[in-house]
Amino acid sequence: MKQFDVVIAGGAMAGMTLALALDTLSNGKLRVAVVEPFPVDHQAHPGFDSRSIALSFGTVQILRQFGLWHDIEPVATAIKHIHVSDRSHAGMTEIDHRELGIQALGYVVELADVGRIYHDKVLHSPQIELITPDAVAQVERTQDHNIVTLQSGVALQCQLLVAADGAISSCCEQLGIALREHDFNQVAVIANIRTEMPHQGQAFERFTQQGPVALLPMSDGRMSLVWCVRPEVAQHMTELDDCAFLAQLQQQFGWRLGKLTHVGARASYPLLLRYREQNTSHRFAIVGNAAQTLHPIAGQGFNLGIRDVASLAEELMHSLDDVGQYSVLSAFKQRREADRTHTISLTSSLVHLFSNDYLTLRVGRNIGLALMDNIPPLKTPLLQRTLGLVAR
């Protein structure tokens, strides 16, 4: 039986970031296993697929702390300016990096690029073992340790098991950690877009009757599109030819970047809030999408997951001899409670506020956006969440 301090179920962004963070913060004193069901092929791996994600300013500081940002930065595109608007109405607010005296508000990275970088780092770390393709089949917990049996029949003993295996976490299901769900009745259509005018580091979030349309700046002049629509519309949108799709997107987004000229392969996925109120159990912790999967509005989900990872890694440093003991996990749970609750509440409220065209809500949100743009103190809560400068 192989012996580890920590076994991490899931080798996508949250799991790999945690493994590398533990290695860095402990100076290689912790033995870590990452169990990943998908072979290491970042073109096919669902956790490191063709999607892009926005890393907040705060997330970048966390990745710097773990010694990871230096290698990610060359493949990242800076967000210099964020433009938030409500289609066909006056409400609008803008955030610019120069107003805040920082180099960028955040960065956009392609998951496939980060996956390649992380895999290379793990291969060069003697204290991290990547076990793939394999998955957790059974978990047996005793007072002092866990026995984790994999589908291959290999058994791993560890002081702490961490679930980073996605929204439908098999580890959480096995241990009976309840999952709560809320269906937003929206589907995200994602694709990469090219525009007539250069994006110049601008990111856009535009609220429409069906849901938000977000365009994030990428390398090579591309933009990453996340377009939230009703389920009955999504099927139609994915079946349109490129010209018809771009025409409909142009109508919703407008002409701030000139003509939308090209669209890449399109994909879609349903939008649900999934979260587990309990993020710890005996010798067990939950991070990332396994703990909560949010609506993409305002780009909060991944950054919240990285704050989970950072807080857990830091708490484990207080007890390197037994990283799974109750006091460590209790401190992690208490530390994450306020941030998780507030961020889940914020994103859900924004979806319901901005994804309809009721007159009273339309007037209220447009007044709110206009006030935020003209009265700086009203922008502060939005800025803190956007930049990821949140107590954790």
Lowest mean pLDDT among 191-195, 217-221, 234-238, 305-309: 234-238
pLDDT at 369 over 50: no
Q: What is the pLDDT of residues 229-262, one digit of tens each?
A: 999 999 888 889 999 999 999 999 989 999 999 9
Segment 197-213 shows an average pLDDT of: 90
Structure-token pair, residue 109: 């990275």
Q: From CA 337, how far away is CA 377, in angstroms rounded?
A: 26
DSSP string, 216-249: EE-GGGEEEEEEEE-HHHHHHHHHS-HHHHHHHH
Task: Identify the band that residue 45 occupies on the pLDDT scale cut at 50, 70 and 90.
Answer: low
Residue 91 scores a pLDDT above 80 = no
In this predicted model, what pLDDT tens digit does every residue of 265-288 receive, in sequence order? 898 999 999 999 999 999 999 999
Query: Can you tell me whether residue 5 is helix, strand or coil?
Result: strand
Instruction: Report domain 2-56+111-181+274-351's class.
Output: alpha beta
The tokens for 388 are 């990821």
Q: Could you tell me the pLDDT band of residue 55, with boundaries at 50, 70 and 90?
A: very high
Work out the pLDDT band at 88, boundaries 50, 70, 90: low
What is the structure's pLDDT at 67?
A: 97
Counting residues of the chain whose pLDDT is more than 70, the rounded percentage is 87
Pairing of β 180-195 and β 267-275:
antiparallel
Q: If you average pLDDT over residues 369-380, what whole number do you get?
A: 49
Residue 46: predicted pLDDT: 52
- DSSP letters, 158-188, are EEEEEE-S-SS-HHHHHTT---EEEEEEEEE
pLDDT of residue 349: 78
CA distance 198 to 218: 11
* Number of alpha carbons in the 13 Å side-chain half-sphere of residue 67: 11
Mean pLDDT value across residues 330-338: 97
Cα(171)–Cα(165) distance, integer angstroms: 8
pLDDT by residue (tens digit) across 309-324? 999 999 999 999 999 9
* Residue 360 pLDDT: 44
Q: Dihedral angle at the C-alpha atoms of 124, 110, 105, 65, nearest 10 degrees?
A: -10
- Average pLDDT for 162-189: 95
**Comparison of pLDDT for 359 and 389, the residue scoring more:** 389
Give the residue among 344, 339, 343, 363 at the shortest CA–CA distance from 353.
363
Closest-CA residue to 228 (of 148, 296, 157, 317) = 296
Write down the domain spans for the chain: 2-56+111-181+274-351
Is the pLDDT at 372 greater than 80? The verdict is no
Own/partner pairs for 363-366, CB < 8 Å, 24+ apart?
A: 365/86, 365/91, 365/207, 366/86, 366/89, 366/90, 366/91
* Residues 293-302, mean pLDDT to the nearest whole number: 88
